[in-house]
Amino acid sequence: MKRALLPLLALPLLVGNASCSETEPRKQPPAVATIVYSGNLDGELEPCGCSETGNLGGILRRAGKLAELRKLHPDLFLISSGGLLANASPRDRLKSEYILKGMAAMDYDAIGLQWRDLSYGVDFLKQAALPWSASNWREKGVFAQQRRVERGGVKLAFFAWLDPESSPFRRMKGEHGMVTGHPDRLRDELREANRRGALTVLSTTLEAARAEQLLPLQEVDILIVKSAYERYGEPRRSGRTLILQPGSRGMRLGYLHLELDGRGDISSWRHEVIPLPESVPDAPSLAGWYEEYNARVKAAYLANVEQRRLQRSGQSPYTGAEACRGCHLKPWERWSESPHSRAFQALEDVGKSFDPDCIICHTVGFEKPGGYIDTRLTMHLLDVQCESCHGAGREHVESKGEKPTPNRGWGREKICSQCHTRPHSPEFDSDSYWERIAH
């Protein structure tokens, strides 16, 4: 319940009127608010487009959809629970740089800081002017404790809680004290925001049950909890608090329409999950951003190719599918008729034949000794070939089959899961997929 106090009026008018006590919140006309929210990108500038449902989401499409929504709802609030970056491969730093630029172009009102966002340090985050919030950060002036926004007569105060227990810096000497684990200051700030009549939003990577134990939810209108994998959770109410669970990987957006009563509390809501399929147009305003990113990826790839070319020596353990044809004609014919045999062309069709994150599953032995380098030097290792599944085959060929292939004995699931992982192939079913390549 909001705490805005009624100004003192002439005392005789208040006597005997219990509804006008100065300790009650000021009553205001009912109001409405629209919030669009998102969760973890997890380092995905755009999700892989190789699944049967195609490329769902991505920053280009998100920006296009947000432009549409802002035309319909000029006063909407746009917030994120953070978790934008990843640090799983050397290529993630460049991708993270462009994720920050893309997010800045979408003009978010508030973004909750997560530990993964600090993968490259605080200074890295400052290269793009983003509205980060970290309400329990110890050092003042580094991140805002809260973000305040007012639109359409509605005030919103956004807070973010970094869980000290999940900090990756806890074991690093001198780093574990970045945040406080005591919610006292957060409680006071939330209470003050309520007193001002603001709609209070608190973001955290805690799961709902843990957040209800640790955090002062009696002062919170909306709690955003740990993101679910890809798909958004169904909102639910706990006391006065509406609990939201965003999805991940940038594949959808959450839409929340709120009705607020005279005290500024949520009286009702309508919730939708907005998908971002191929029918959603890319934002023209980000075309240059995307071209620049792809150009940087291509330049880094070509520099790596040249380095590997200079280092290459000796004979490759890979032979290419033609070497398998003589002894395994029928399996080779089945393969040559399958999409696997045209996998690299699929990358060229969408301008991704220079992206290492894509090449690795569309060629043979990429980033392995003797594996695919580029179309000039290793043309015979394009596409998903026999050795992509069964392992490097030179010793098998030269021994006339006496030496088994490296992956002999692997089950179907293990072979296919080298590339058909959950992020790349969410609908993957080994039985139905196997029918297309069985040999």
Residues in CB range of 133: below 8 A, 6 or more apart: 110, 111, 112, 113, 143, 144, 145, 146, 147, 158, 159, 160, 203
Q: How many CA atoms lie within 13 A of 71 on its CB side?
A: 5
Structure-block tokens of residue 388 = 């992509």
Chain centroid offset of residue 402 CA: 47
Tell me which H or E stretch contains 301: helix 287-311
Angle 60-62-67 (CA atoms, 0-180°, nearest 5)?
Answer: 100
Handedness of CA 382, 387, 392, 393 (dihedral sign): negative
In the numeric block, which tokens belong to residue 352? 């991704």
Contact 193, 146 (CB under 8 A): yes
- For residue 350, give both structure tokens: 């969408």
- Residues 148, 159: Cα–Cα separation, whole Å: 9
Per-residue pLDDT tens over the stretch 119-142: 999 999 998 999 999 999 998 899
Q: Domain-by-domain residue ranges, the chain?
A: 19-284, 318-434
* pLDDT at residue 236 tops 80: yes
Tell me the CA distances in angstroms from 238 to 150, 159, 184, 213, 214, one per residue in order: 25, 18, 21, 12, 14
Looking at 26-40, 127-141, 266-280, which range is the least confident one?
26-40
> Angle at the Cα of 255 (from 218 to 151), degrees rounded to 5?
70
- Given this model, what pLDDT does residue 170 score? 67
- Measured CA to CA, the distance from residue 31 to residue 187 in angstroms comes to 25
* Residue 327 binned pLDDT confidence (cut-offs 50, 70, 90): very high
What are the tens digits of pLDDT across the range 183-230? Answer: 999 999 999 999 999 999 999 999 999 999 999 999 999 999 999 999
Residues 278-311 have pLDDT tens digits of: 999 999 999 999 999 999 999 999 988 887 876 6
Element (H, E) at 238: strand 236-238
Residue type, 157: A
State how beta strands 241-244 and 252-260 pair. unpaired
Question: What's this model's pTM, rounded to 2 decimal places?
Answer: 0.81
Question: Longest C-alpha distance within the chain, in Å?
Answer: 106
Name the DSSP letter for residue 118. G
Q: How far apart are CA 138 and CA 167, in angstroms?
A: 14
* 268 three-state secondary structure: strand
Strand order in the sheet with 236-238: 146-151, 154-161, 199-204, 222-224, 241-244, 236-238
pLDDT (average), residues 359-383: 91
Architecture field, domain 318-434: Orthogonal Bundle (1.10)
**d(C-alpha 406, C-alpha 303), whole Å:** 31
Is the domain defined by 19-284 classed in CATH 3.60.21.10?
yes
Is the Cβ–Cβ distance between 439 and 331 less than 8 Å?
yes
- Kindly state the percentage of the chain with pLDDT values over 90: 69
Q: Confidence class of residue 11 from pLDDT cuts 50, 70 and 90?
A: very low
pLDDT at 6 over 90: no
Helices (H), 327-428: 329-336, 343-349, 356-359, 386-390, 394-398, 412-416
Eight-state DSSP code of residue 153: T
Do 19-284 and 318-434 come out as alike in CATH topology?
Answer: no
- Please state, in angstroms and rounded to a whole number, the distance separating the CA atoms of residues 365 and 220: 52
List Cα–Cα distances, 400 to 328, 380, 404, 420, in angstroms.
12, 20, 10, 31
Taking the alpha carbons at both ends of the chain, their separation in whole angstroms is 67
Please, which pLDDT band fits residue 437 given cuts at 50, 70 and 90? confident
